Amino acid sequence: MSVESRPQPADTAGTTAARPAAAASPLPGAPTDGPLTREELHLASRNHAQPLEMLQWPVTPIGMHYLLIHFDIPKLDPTAWRLRIGGLVEHPREYTLTELRHRERRTVPVTLECAGNGRSLMEPRPVSQPWDRGGFGTAEWTGTPLAPLLHDAGIPADAVELVFTGADRGIQGGIEHSYARSLSVADAMSGDVLLAYEVNGQPLPPQHGYPLRLLVPGWYGMTSVKWLSSIEAIDHAFEGYQQTPAYHLTQSAEELGEPVQRIRPRALMVPPGIPDFFTRERFVDAGPVQLRGRAWSGHGSVDKVEVRVDGVWAEAELEPAVGPYAWRGWTFPWIASPGTHELACRASDSSGLTQPEQPEWNYQGLANNAVQRLTVTVRG
C-alpha cells in the first residue's frame, strides 16, 4: 500500500497520515436513494442505539446509552496509561489516573447525542452510521474539571485551541489517524467541561472511554473524546480529519460548510402501547393514555414541549430538568379512541430554537432534529 501524507499540523501527535486520501468526500459514499448496504448494517450493529422505551428512565442505565465508536474499542492498561498535557503549555506534564482522581471531583448529569442522530431519515440518505433516532443518552458523569488543570498547565496568550486525542486509531476518509478533536481555549476553559473517569457511579466501561474521556456538556457527542491520551495547546485551528472536513453542515463534498457544535433541541416520545416484533408497529388499548418522553437542547433550557395528535398541537406538562445539561421529562394526557392516529412531539428552547417538521438535509447527515412522528393503532 502506498503511503502519502495529507497535510497535518506538526504538533498533533497521533494523527500522522499513513494512507492516501482515497475519497474526496468526507463520507464513505455520496448520499443515495439506494438500498441499505452491508456496511451500514454492520455499523448499526456495532454502534448501539437507545430503544425509545428507555426514555422512561431519567438516567440511562449503563449499557443503554448510545455509542458511536469510529474505530475499535481499545483495551488500555490503567497502570501504564497517562494523560499527556503538552504542546504550547508552559508546564507540560503527565498525569496518572490516580493523580487525576485526587483532583477536584464533580458529578454532572449530561444528555449527549450523536451529531449523526436521525441521519438515515434524510432523503437522499447520507451514507455512514445509519441512525434512526436512538443516538442519545443521559448519564451522570464524574470527573475532574478541565479548567483548573489547564490553569496549572499554563496556557500562553498565543494558544488558540486545545487538541484532545484518543487512543483509538484507524482510517477514515482515506487518512490513518488517532481520533482527535479540538476546542477553542475559551470553550475548553468553560467550567463545565470535565475529564470524566466514572459514569453512573462506576468506573467508565471500556466502550465509554476507560480510563478517561473528555465530556463537553451541551455539545454533540463527537466532541467528548474517549480514551483520552493527550491534550495539546496549539497556535492555530486544528485540521485533523474529525475536525475538518468531518462534522460540518455542508451541501456537497466540495464545500466545507459550518462546523456542528451544540445540540439542537429535540423531544422524543416513549412509544405507547405494545409493539409488533418486526415492524415495531404500535398497538394501544382505547382509553386514557399518559404520553411521556424527554426533551433536551444544548443551546439553552427546554421551555416548551408540544404534542400533536392527528394534526392538533397542544402543550405538554414539563418536569424539572435532570440537570442544567440534561433532559427534562414531559407528559401529555391523551384519550385514545379506536382507529389509527398520528402522534408527534417537538421541543423549543430558551434560545428561541424549535424543531423543524422536515429534516434539514445536509451532505454528512448531521444535526437532524426533525419532529418525531409516530403512527399508532388504537384497539377498541
Nearer to a second copy, 180 or 188 (CB): 180
Identify the residue among 132, 187, 303, 319 touching a second copy (CB under 8 A).
Answer: 132
Is 232 one of the binding residues for a second copy (CB under 8 A)? no
DSSP code of residue 8: -
> What gap in Å lies between CA 119 and CA 37, rounded to an integer?
14
Shortest Å distance, C-beta 51 to a second copy: 5
Is 53 one of the binding residues for a second copy (CB under 8 A)? yes
Identify the residue among 11, 20, 44, 103 touching a second copy (CB under 8 A).
Answer: 44
Nearer to a second copy, 33 or 258 (CB): 33
Is 346 one of the binding residues for a second copy (CB under 8 A)? no
Is 61 one of the binding residues for a second copy (CB under 8 A)? yes
CA distances from 5 to 10, 23, 177 (A): 12, 14, 11
Shortest Å distance, C-beta 85 to a second copy: 26
Is 64 one of the binding residues for a second copy (CB under 8 A)? yes
Of 168-176, 216-224, 227-235, 255-263, which part binds a second copy (CB under 8 A)? 168-176
Shortest Å distance, C-beta 46 to a second copy: 5
Is 189 one of the binding residues for a second copy (CB under 8 A)? no
Cα Rg of the chain (Å, integer): 21
> What gap in Å lies between CA 212 and CA 197, rounded to an integer?
5
> What gap in Å lies between CA 241 and CA 364, rounded to an integer?
14
Cell numbers representing residue 375 in the block: 403512527
Burial of 281 (0-12, 13-18, 19+ CB in 10 A): middle
CA distances from 268 to 36, 253, 260, 309, 377 (A): 25, 31, 21, 14, 19
> What gap in Å lies between CA 219 and CA 50, rounded to an integer?
19
Identify the residue among 160, 171, 309, 353 touching a second copy (CB under 8 A).
Answer: 171
Residue 208 — φ and ψ, nearest 5°? Answer: -105, 10
Nearer to a second copy, 274 or 314 (CB): 274
Binding footprint of a second copy on the chain (CB under 8 A): 1, 3, 19, 27-29, 35-46, 48-49, 51, 53-54, 56-57, 61-65, 69-73, 75, 120, 127-128, 130-132, 134, 169-172, 176, 205-208, 271, 274-281, 283, 377, 379-380
